[in-house]
Structure 1
Amino acid sequence: MSLTRQNSRDIDGYPVRGLAVTYRDGARLSRHTHPWAQLVYAATGTMRVATPDAAWLAPPTRAIWVPGGVAHEIEMRGTVAMRTLYLATDDPRLTACRAIEVAPLLKELILHVVKLGMLDVDDLGHARIEGLLLDLLADAETVPFQLPLPTDPRARAFADRILSDPGAEASLAALAKDAGASLRTLQRLFLAQTSLSLEAWRGRARMQQAVVSLSNGAPVTEAALDAGYQSASAFIAAFKRAFGVTPARWRSG
């Protein structure tokens, strides 16, 4: 990308800025917005990123891309070594929120920019780094960590309850009652507003919890229990359907 084009969209001449912060388990960055796009990445630990429309999981080796102007909140699961980037970009390839695979080259580039602190638009070397970074982000593989969120207040209350404890043994009917709606009503709302059945949505939330547990070093059996599965074999089969690999293979990857 040319410096001429870059100058038209910089903020104070620094198109990319890095931030390194360590957060304790349970720390939360409440909903906020900023003009910069953000690459939400953690070298260790797991983060859950939520916008008004969806929630994403960011375990190590994955990151969440949030375009500028999109309201979002971040919750830490385990001790999180955040290594995040803020970018002033209007790249048409990077206009949608998504979870991406952080390949080794992209990881090293993120850490390098964080170490530099910011990229100077007038530095040709920094301009090349920025161009490579944008290309790697645009070409990164999208991973299935997105969980669409319903807009109806009752359905959203139900969703928030499940997200707070995906592995809870409470029945769907009991959770529906707590949310102030019948189970049939919530089943209709979830299908209409998330394109997932209520059961499939809860299953995906449980898979996200499993990823959190595995990322924090839990053995497969413990991760299965955390996700609400009483049978390790059923959990392994469900995990493979969701992510294409077994939990053990995912951890080693």
Structure 2
Amino acid sequence: MTVTSSAVGDGYLVRSLAVTYPDGFVISDHDHPWGQLVHGRTGIMRVETEGRVWLSPATRAVWLPAFRPHRIVMKGAVAMRTLYLAPEAAADLPGAAAVLEVGPLLRELVLHILAIGMLDPAVPAHARLTNVLSDLMAAAPREDLALPLPSDPRARALAERLHAQPDDRTDFPALARQTGASLRTLQRIFPRETGLSLEGWRQKARMIHAVAALAAGASVTGAALDCGYDSVSAFIAAFKRAFGTTPARYRP
């Protein structure tokens, strides 16, 4: 949709916010009447919404449609750069949360809009910038960096542990005992509530952490160790199976 100065009322098309948060800072559950592009220039954001948890490194951003309750946890110091898009400006964007690749042009446009502050439909140049922003976001490659979260309390506790400690090599029988559920029970719950087997969930959690680590500047060897791999070659093979490309593509 092309936004023009006559397409909307007197409200702004895009609002912006720049805040730096310390490691561990939590933005509790909330939502917005406008769509939100959440981008961190540094650090990693854990974004939880729609029963899924996402990791967004500096080379990615999370798109949150309007009225989607979400929670954000900072991993490392996060220089958050956020844009809020009015419904008219977000008409062509996904109706569900998504991780977008932030290429050089989109990244510079976000910073340019932040420098302006707000985009006013009464200013033709602002309407044009809004159109470019919407087009770039709509065209940005999507990436599956989300993990579905189980609702069962025992499975949820295990999922949170696996997500927080991707290098944990504790076997599943021992992990099950610590949750108070049998391994067979957990093996039934995970596919039913997440669509992934217990082993598949753990493997995907490790691969998503690897993407975040690589994007933050970790070496391939460092990312492999962070995700519980002793063998770099085994890690690269698993990564290629998961994403269809080598880990080096995700390094800045």
Normalised by the length of structure 1, the TM-score is 0.91
Quote the offset at 1:47 in angstroms.
1.3
The correspondence for 1:89, drawn from 87, 90, 93, is 87
The 5-angstrom pairing of residues 1-253 of structure 1 reads 1-7=3-9, 13-89=11-87, 91-252=91-252
Q: Contact conserved, 1:45 with 1:215, CA < 8 A, in 2? A: no
Quote the offset at 1:178 in angstroms.
2.4
Query: Separation in 1 of the partners of 2:201 and 2:78?
Result: 26
Q: Contact conserved, 1:77 with 1:212, CA < 8 A, in 2? A: no
Deviates more, 1:206-215 or 1:57-66: 206-215
Tell me the percent identity.
55
Residue 43 of structure 2 aligns to a residue in which SS? strand
Which letter does structure 2 place at the counterpart of 1:85?
L
Query: Separation in 1 of the partners of 2:216 and 2:236?
Result: 18
Quote the offset at 1:58 in angstroms.
1.0
Residue 75 of structure 1 aligns to a residue in which SS? strand
Residues paired across the two proteins, number: 248
Query: Separation in 2 of the partners of 1:242 and 1:46?
Result: 21
Quote the offset at 1:206 in angstroms.
0.8
Residue 245 of structure 2 aligns to a residue in which SS? coil
Quote the offset at 1:93 in angstroms.
3.5
Deviating above 6 A after TM superposition, structure 1's stretches of 4 or more consecutive aligned residues are none
Q: Contact conserved, 1:167 with 1:209, CA < 8 A, in 2? A: no
Query: Separation in 2 of the partners of 1:103 and 1:219?
Result: 21
Quote the offset at 1:203 in angstroms.
0.6
Residue 70 of structure 1 aligns to a residue in which SS? coil
RMSD, matched Cα: 1.8
Q: Contact conserved, 1:45 with 1:216, CA < 8 A, in 2? A: yes
Q: Contact conserved, 1:99 with 1:142, CA < 8 A, in 2? A: yes
Query: Separation in 2 of the partners of 1:237 and 1:139?
Result: 29
Which letter does structure 2 place at the counterpart of 1:161?
R
Quote the offset at 1:92 in angstroms.
5.0
Quote the offset at 1:16 in angstroms.
0.9
Structure 2: gaps of 5 or more residues = none
Which letter does structure 1 place at the counterpart of 2:132?
L
Residue 3 of structure 1 aligns to a residue in which SS? coil
Distance 1:52 1:158, change over 3 A: farther
Query: Separation in 1 of the partners of 2:101 and 2:53?
Result: 16
Q: Contact conserved, 2:210 with 2:223, CA < 8 A, in 1? A: yes
Quote the offset at 1:78 in angstroms.
2.1
Normalised by the length of structure 2, the TM-score is 0.91
Residue 5 of structure 1 aligns to a residue in which SS? coil
Q: Contact conserved, 1:13 with 1:122, CA < 8 A, in 2? A: no
Q: Contact conserved, 1:38 with 1:84, CA < 8 A, in 2? A: yes
Deviates more, 1:241-250 or 1:100-109: 241-250
Which letter does structure 2 place at the counterpart of 1:64?
V
Deviation per residue, 1:26-75 (Å, 9 max, x gap):
22212222212111111222212111411112112211101111111112
Q: Contact conserved, 2:92 with 2:138, CA < 8 A, in 1? A: no
